[in-house]
Amino acid sequence: MSALGALIAGRIARHGPMRLSEYMALCLGHPEHGYYTTRDPLGAAGDFTTAPEISQMFGELIGLWLAQAWRDMGAPARAVLAELGPGRGTLMADALRAAARVPGFRAAVGRPALVEISPVLRARQARALAGWDPVWADRIEEIPADGPLLLIANEFFDALPIRQIERRGGRWRERMVSVGEDGALRLAAGPILPWEAAAPEGALREISPASEAVAGWIGARLARTGGAALIVDYGYDAPPPAGGDTFQALAGHAPVDPFAAPGMADLTAHVHFGALARAAEAAGAQAWPLATQGALLERLGLSDRARALIRAAGADGAAQEAVVAAHHRLAHPDAMGALFKALALTGPGAGRPAGV
């Protein structure tokens, strides 16, 4: 067992089984042993690869989306540009390179705000955005409030903690992390919850109060100052009637046991976009129809950008093939195109954002 696993087992021995949401928060964010606080998890040498790392095209198109949202607001002299979970800074760097070509945008957004808890990734972001002098925040509430908000969040919500509720014996019980007789961490049935929702035996629901709280904060901010937000992640608009277990761990680009070595693997779950949209709207924002990542990128000009990069590659066949492969991976339904979705939020009364 990992060092963090031993700490978690000790806490369970003292206080009893813990919620899956608490387990996830410790595994990902523990200040000494947390997965995100101790490493750069991205790329071929890491555990997973995100869309911005696949191709510059992704970030460039998101940058143009941001610039268009700014223009749709009337091109205000001051806007707050922010990203949640910015990874290596690749998405923001590519987005700013493209958006800065729009007259007035760079002066309006000034220094981008990055919500990031990892010292390792903050160092990577500083190098990627050296010309932009970014500012960092530990929490979303620390994002500057002196202007309308332009916010992006790519593969951020999937890492926020979830709870799992299971239908057993005609009652809803919360699944809890406990320690088995062999000393290993595992999931077990926990306390009965006062849920009345009808569902078949064995149904499993996943809820993420943390995700809904963040979406509610974004919604309230957009309602108060105006602006636009784009959330891109893998997930669903609404879960199937019987739900399903989407909790998973990745290490070395392959699935692993999420309880074998706490703090050593990425933990994620599919995002319930419908719940995010409702939380944002309840706070006063406007949520727009969900789009697949493939549809969003194509509407923003992915194929045209790919053709331009292929032309720029000239006779370099390997470079041309790399562009074609990236286009397929980002947009095709059998790759990221259908599994990943995009939710756009705006302030009340705003027009429909580009691409959705």
203: in domain: yes
68: in domain: yes
Distance between the two ends of the chain, CA-based, in angstroms? Answer: 45
Tell me which residue has tokens 């390179």: 97
For residue 88, what is the domain's CATH number?
A: 3.40.50.12710
Per-residue pLDDT of the chain (356 residues), as tens digits, is 799 999 999 999 999 999 999 999 999 999 999 999 888 888 766 778 899 999 999 999 999 999 999 999 999 999 999 999 999 999 999 999 999 999 999 999 999 999 999 999 999 999 999 999 999 999 999 999 999 999 999 999 999 999 999 999 999 999 999 999 899 999 999 999 998 888 999 999 999 999 999 999 999 999 999 999 999 999 999 988 778 999 999 998 899 999 999 999 999 999 999 999 999 999 999 999 999 999 999 999 999 999 999 999 998 999 999 999 999 999 999 999 999 999 999 999 999 999 99
321: in domain: no
Query: How far apart (Å, rounded) are the C-alpha atoms in residues 356 and 339?
Result: 16
Strand partners, 344: 230
Q: How far is CA 162 from CA 132, 133, 171, in A?
A: 34, 34, 20
72: in domain: yes
87 C-beta neighbours (distance < 10 Å), count:
25
Could you write out the DSSP letters of every residue in 267-299? EE--EEHHHHHHHHHHTT-EEPPPEEHHHHHHH
301: in domain: no
Query: How far apart (Å, rounded) are the C-alpha atoms in residues 253 and 243?
Result: 26
Instruction: Determine phi and psi for 37, rounding to 5 degrees.
Output: -85, -10
282: in domain: yes
Domains in the chain, number: 1
Query: How far apart (Å, rounded) are the C-alpha atoms in residues 285 and 299?
Result: 23
Residues 145 and 116 sit within 8 Å (Cβ to Cβ): no
193: in domain: yes
Strand partners, 286: 346
Note down the domain range covering 283: 3-295+341-346
Residues 40 and 46 sit within 8 Å (Cβ to Cβ): yes
Report if pTM > 0.85: yes
196: in domain: yes
Q: How far is CA 172 from CA 18, 189, 212, 303, in A?
A: 17, 10, 21, 47
